[in-house]
Amino acid sequence: MATTLRTLWKGAISFGLVHIPVAVYPATSQQGLDFDWLDKRSMDPVGYKRINKRTGKEIAKENIVKGIEYEEGQYVVLSSEEIEAAYPKTTQTIEIETFISAADIPFIYLDRPYYLAPINKGAKVYALLREILRKSGKVGIARVVIQSRQHLAALIPFGPVLVLNLLRWGDEIRAFDSLTLPAEGVKPAGLTDKEMKVGEQLVEDMSEAWNPEASRDSFKEKILQLVEAKAHAGELESITQIEPAEREPAGATIYDLTELLQRSLDSSKQNRKPASRTKATDRKAKAATKTPAKATGKRKAA
């Protein structure tokens, strides 16, 4: 039985002067187990409290502010208005900035996928972009706002569907310089030809077509089997009333596709920057992108 996907939002893919109306759908779902916290006396759900981590006391909502730790023990407090003003504007547009080879994106940058489906007579131009990406081996690099947060994303053809795969920002990838790793290359790593040959043969013997359905979450299956067995044995706990004193208070239409593509191409040629850059220009660009040392020191989520 086919699963009905829930539409997250409707908007458009945009590149050059071309707009492809699309709907965005989640491509994955969390299938892990969610253990509820319960009061063992009554089976009531247990929630989270706002606790001062130093004093251990509960604090009222109106006494909570948001801040960023600038130096150890020192914070910059931001108002709700300041934070709201910094949120990216929700445009419902997947703005493609450039196209790159799919092989140029290391897998470590891939984060979360979403399906895109054409709407409002956008099927033809949707198919055009999909087939161009498939034939060229390229992906579109775009910016998109999802749930008030701006993301970098890759537009990737996957069978008949275009997938919008969110990417991690560069500063979210940790460096591995501090790790002790063997040198790259067969000889630098001290490997012999015989070791490589036997290892390659082992890999070849163990190779097969990938079947994601063959790999299952054994922990989840064992827990569900245990739950089912306990339920059939009558080991069920129901919510019961306890003394009131002990209870916690409740808390765009395409008219001429060829013409639009040509106009986009002409505009791209006119706006293309010169390939060569002077050393002085490079120095200015690097200086402009440097971040103050203090700001890059310690970052915590609000």
User: Which is more confident, 146 or 251?
Assistant: 146
b/e map 73-96, b = 16+ CB within 10 Å: eeeeebeeeeeeeeeeeeeeebbb
Q: For 108-127, how does the pLDDT look when each residue is reduced to its tens digit (9 = 90+)?
A: 999 999 999 999 989 999 99
On the question of pLDDT at 277 being above 60, the answer is no
Structural domains of the chain ordered from first start? 1-47+82-170 (2.40.290.10)
Q: Which residue has the higher pLDDT, 139 or 69?
A: 139
pLDDT band at 64 (very low <50, low <70, confident <90, very high): confident
Contact 116, 161 (CB under 8 A): yes
Q: What is the pLDDT of residue 298?
A: 43
Average pLDDT of the segment spanning 202-224: 79
Of the chain, the percentage scoring pLDDT greater than 90 comes to: 24
What distance in Å separates the CA atoms of residue 209 and residue 33, rounded to the nearest whole number? Answer: 29
The mean pLDDT of 124-151, rounded to a whole number, is 90
Strand partners for 110: 167
171-208 residue pLDDT tens: 888 888 888 889 999 999 999 999 999 889 988 988 88
How many angstroms separate the CA atoms of 133 and 48, rounded?
47
Q: What is the C-alpha separation between 69 and 80, in angstroms, rounded?
A: 17
Question: Looking at the predicted structure, is the pLDDT value of residue 165 above 80?
Answer: yes
Range among 68-77, 112-121, 169-178, 222-231 rated most confident: 112-121
pTM metric for this prediction:
0.63
Region 225-232: what's the mean pLDDT? 80
- The predicted-structure confidence for 19-50, as pLDDT tens digits, reads as follows 888 888 888 776 666 667 776 776 677 777 77
Q: Does the structure show a pLDDT above 50 at 262?
A: yes
